[in-house]
Structure 1
Amino acid sequence: MDQISAMRVFVRVVETGNFTRAAKSLEMPKTSVTNLVQGLEAHLSTTLLNRTTRRVTVTTDGALYYERATQILSELDELDGSFSKSQSLPAGRLRVEMASVFADSVVIPALCDFYMRYPQIQLDIGVGDRLVDYIAENVDCALRAGVLSDQSLIARKVGELHMQTYAAPFYIENFGMPQHPTDLEVDHFCVGYLKAQAGRVLPMEFRRGDELLEVSPRYILSVNDSRSYVRAAVSGLGIVQTPFFVVEEAVKKGELVPVLPEWTRDPFPLYVVYPQTRHLSNRVRVFVDWLAKQLQGIARGPAARPGRARAAELATGKS
């Protein structure tokens, strides 16, 4: 029996919760997964897993073995990686999750640079802003914005997003320019951003000096995708609050103009997260380092972007 392979398979079964998902994530036949675990149990002369027709649970011995096995495998991967870093480029498959706005506007346009550096890494990018079962879906890492609520994840901060508020000229012609954030609850319409995890439309926040306001936007439309959010604003369906890089082209074309420019929003932190049980491989490390550099350009906000002057003209009605 290949004990290292059996240990890896056993760990995946524990992490995914059953043999079928473990086999799928390891790209192995289910019978091979079952045989390796049974061989490991025979070698150890103990039962590691309790099996029923509906679920798999870990025995007391299995829990102890899992804890030590994950440590040993992590140390072994680290040892192998310390030699491979000096001899070859990182290689293998990397599964990443991120919102469409980052995939479309930041990552995919720059991927040629990444592949020039790391041609042996195969990227699988899951696009969306959804709840992810990192272990069962074999996700290596994800890019997330805002306060993190899942304490089981390890997070590395890779930047910040500076937010501003925008509307279409068509909208302003029909509803006027809001004078205060509270106008968005009474006299104006916003486009609601529906957060799947929260199951509700997210509030808008505004800061002016020491004054901080949270506004529940009045809306006739809510969406759960950044592209649709901006498209709705360009169509005149309401006011939006979003990072400048997302609307930069629309601002340059005059499709959107800043509103309430004296009010800002506290920056959104950007994190790359991954599960505590997942060893941070070399391919994850190099991707995260590369991604952090790509995000530096968008995180500074409109003050550092070429569209700043045009945005100022539009906000004051000069064109």
Structure 2
Amino acid sequence: MRLPDLEAWAIFASVVEHRSFSAAATAIGLSKATVSKAVSRLETQLGQSLFHRTSRRLALTEAGKPLAEHARRLLAEAHAAEEAARAGASSPAGRIRLAAPMSFGVTHLAPLLAEFLAAHPKVQIELHLSDAYVDIVAEGIDVALRIGVLADSSLRTRRLRDVTIHVVAASAYLAVHGMPAHPADLAGHVLLGYSYSNGPWRFTQPREDGTNEEVSVRTDGPLSANSGDALVPALIAGLGIAILPDFIVDAAIRAGTLVPILTDWTTIRPALHLLTPPSPLRPARVEALITFLAERLR
């Protein structure tokens, strides 16, 4: 049985990561000709082109896109295996690519990273903050924090804590428009939307007969944003009602600038999760960060 050309796969992964034959060659310490020959060799073995090449642009072919993910995994697992073998003799070192939601990342994660880096001076963290969905395997992310109800996947996940969702408005808004007593009342109110939420707001409440009353409310207000923090000034100014997580609105609720409403109804029940790629092999630096975040964020 012919063994796979692991060197060519690793070089292919590097070209994908650096989006250039020249940049990949520099990064891994090989000549551009060697890198090009390795990719050509792999294409010959696979019987298909992996890149569209022009003088100005290098792009994966449709056949190359899924193979790039396999190549990343092979290279990541090889690195992880080497680092795992050295872990007992060295402290965590190297770069970690970490992804997290924008608001939570700024307010809760960033202060913790300062503490982690002070304790691990040989580690570098590349932090990616976005509320958009991130394919952590395709993007080469080592660790991701995600808030929501997770769909089934091959990713390794760890539930860290529940996240409470509040329906909130300013007292000034409620004084003018009235306090909603039932989710159906929201149809007559100004509702501010979060761009990444899927579909209408959903509420449930148990009935005396043991069943649940369920209500859906569609939002169509004057403002929607892909960051929950961006809705808070409009809420405080009395422009409407929004649904936002505890880490965004708890301070405003404590200060009295926002008022929780419909508190006897349940909305979605998301949680904070820690995700990593499927491989059980992880570098010592990644294991150290996972342990640290799991302890601090519970």
TM-score bracket relative to the smaller structure: 0.7 to 0.9
Partner residue, 1:309? none
Give per-residue Cα distances to partners, 1:200-256, cap 9 Å, x unaligned.
x64222232333333213422111111102222122121122222321221222111
Partner residue, 1:191? 192
Q: Does residue 223 of structure 1 match 2:189?
A: no
Preserved contact between residue 84 and residue 284 of structure 2 (Cα < 8 Å): no
Give per-residue Cα distances to partners, 1:41-94, cap 9 Å, x unaligned.
66x99545635436555999xx7xx969955862x4444333433222211112
- Distance across 2 between alignment mates of 1:229 and 1:193: 8
Structure 2 alignment gaps of length 5 or more: 207-211
- Distance across 2 between alignment mates of 1:259 and 1:251: 11
Residues 126-275 of structure 1 aligned to structure 2 (within 5 Å): 126-132=128-134, 134=136, 137-149=139-151, 151=153, 153-185=155-187, 187-195=188-196, 202-209=199-206, 210-275=212-277
State the TM-score, normalizing by the size of structure 1: 0.72
Report the AA paired with residue 290 of structure 1: F
Structure 1 residues 234 and 155 mapped into 2: Cα distance closer, same or farther (>3 Å)?
A: same
Report the AA paired with residue 27 of structure 2: M
Q: Which has the higher contact order (CA 8 A, sep 6+)?
A: 2
Partner residue, 2:118? 116
Preserved contact between residue 21 and residue 136 of structure 1 (Cα < 8 Å): no
- Distance across 2 between alignment mates of 1:27 and 1:278: 30
Partner residue, 2:209? none
Q: CA deviation at 1:294?
A: 3.1
Preserved contact between residue 107 and residue 294 of structure 1 (Cα < 8 Å): no
- Paired residues, number: 282
Q: RMSD of the alignment, in Å?
A: 3.9
State the TM-score, normalizing by the size of structure 2: 0.76
Q: Which of the residues 97, 101, 104 maps onto 2:103?
A: 101
Report the AA paired with residue 204 of structure 2: R
Residues 33-48 of structure 1 aligned to structure 2 (within 5 Å): 35-36=34-35, 38-39=37-38, 47-48=45-46
- Distance across 1 between alignment mates of 2:25 and 2:200: 41
